[in-house]
């Protein structure tokens, strides 16, 4: 029946139908020769790719596609490299793919599995200009953003993978790169006593400890919601269990911050401290990460969902 509709109407329907991980567009392309042609502009509008083969294939396809025809609006990219050599081989493909996506992408989730290359890849991402990007989730050992107005429309930022991102809120880097940021989530903290103090100072509007205005801890003025989720503490056999650890001090600071700036209070910034995740397999963590991305595309809250008290 659908092939009896005007092509323009069919294409308009497909634009709204192909907003998942790419499976809908791929399935429709196999229905008929007609559908294969009509769905082509939306094949890569929303897609999830994982591993060297899928990432390299998408990079080659988009590199042959004229710039005006690259319609990728939402993408989840997972580098699943298990060895340093495999991770290094993927870097040129992934950096080229990120560069090709940057002018049009609006929702991006990037997983960088290997510690030898994650900082390089995330630094490359932060060095690109993304004029349309609204939501970004990064999982891996991330450096700090450095390019002014790199992502002028970004409102939602989720960072995961740096146990103690001390310095993230200093020198105005976050405000310079993401001037429209309203939601910030930082996950995976472990023993991050210094970052917890830095965050508390930023939320309270306090200056840094004697380093002057340049190094003051501060957030973009637009930030309204902060979610923090620490990891479970590291087990240190030689540590005296009767003495508080850096992780304990971090949790104390974060609990105080969350209680003082809880949702419902008349504060400019609301803070939520989520409990540490239970020990789960890495495959389950990957599934949750991608499920959050999918949920956000379906109109859900994704990683911004906060359990009711």
Q: What is the DSSP string of 198-266?
A: HHHHHHHTPPPSSS-GGG-----TT--EEEEEEPPPPP-TTS-TTSPPHHHHHHHHHHHHHHHT-TTSS
d(CA 79, CA 54): 10
Torsions phi, psi for 216 (to 5 deg): -65, 145
Tokens standing for 182?
């309203």
Q: What's the pLDDT at 176?
A: 93
Q: How many CB atoms lie within 10 A of CB 4?
A: 6
- Is residue 27 within 8 A of residue 300, CB to CB? The reply is no
| pLDDT tens sequence across 49-88 | 999 999 999 999 999 988 877 889 999 999 999 899 999 9
Q: DSSP strand E in the chain: where? A: 46-50, 74-79, 107-112, 135-139, 156-160, 183-189, 225-230, 270-273
| pLDDT tens sequence across 107-158 | 999 999 899 999 999 999 999 999 999 999 999 999 999 899 999 999 999 9
Q: What's the pLDDT at 126?
A: 97
Q: Where are the domains of the chain?
A: 1-43, 144-234+243-299
Q: What's the pLDDT at 20?
A: 67
What mean pLDDT comes out for the span 208-218? Answer: 63
Band of pLDDT at residue 308, cut at 50, 70 and 90: low
pTM: 0.87
| pLDDT tens sequence across 258-298 | 999 887 666 689 999 999 887 555 556 667 788 888 888 87
């Amino acid at each position: 029946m659908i092939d009896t509709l005007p092509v323009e109407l069919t294409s308009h329907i497909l634009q709204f139908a192909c907003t998942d991980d790419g499976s809908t567009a791929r399935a429709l392309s196999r229905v008929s020769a007609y559908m294969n042609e009509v769905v082509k502009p939306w094949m890569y509008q929303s897609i999830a790719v994982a591993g060297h083969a899928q990432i390299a294939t998408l990079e080659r396809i988009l590199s042959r596609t004229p710039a005006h025809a690259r319609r990728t609006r939402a993408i989840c990219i997972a580098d699943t490299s298990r060895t340093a050599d495999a991770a290094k081989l993927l870097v040129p493909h992934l950096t080229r793919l990120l560069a090709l996506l940057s002018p049009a992408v609006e929702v991006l989730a990037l997983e960088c599995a290997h510690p030898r290359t994650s900082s390089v890849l995330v630094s490359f991402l932060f060095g690109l200009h993304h004029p349309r990007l609204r939501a970004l989730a990064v999982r891996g050992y991330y450096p700090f953003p450095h390019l002014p107005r790199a992502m002028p429309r970004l409102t939602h930022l989720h960072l995961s993978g740096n146990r103690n991102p001390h310095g993230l809120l200093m020198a105005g880097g976050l405000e310079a790169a993401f001037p429209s940021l309203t939601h910030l989530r930082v996950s995976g903290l472990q023993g991050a006593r210094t970052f917890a103090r830095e965050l508390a100072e930023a939320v309270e509007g306090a200056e840094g400890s004697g380093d002057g205005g340049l190094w003051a801890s501060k957030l973009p003025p637009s930030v309204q919601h902060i979610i923090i989720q620490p990891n479970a503490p590291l087990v240190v056999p030689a540590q005296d269990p009767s003495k508080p650890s850096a992780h304990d001090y971090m949790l104390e600071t974060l609990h105080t911050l969350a209680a003082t700036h809880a949702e419902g209070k008349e504060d400019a910034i609301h803070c939520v401290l989520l409990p540490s995740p239970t020990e789960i397999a890495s495959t389950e963590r990957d599934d949750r990460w991608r499920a959050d991305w999918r949920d956000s595309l379906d109109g859900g809250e994704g990683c911004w969902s906060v359990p009711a008290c």
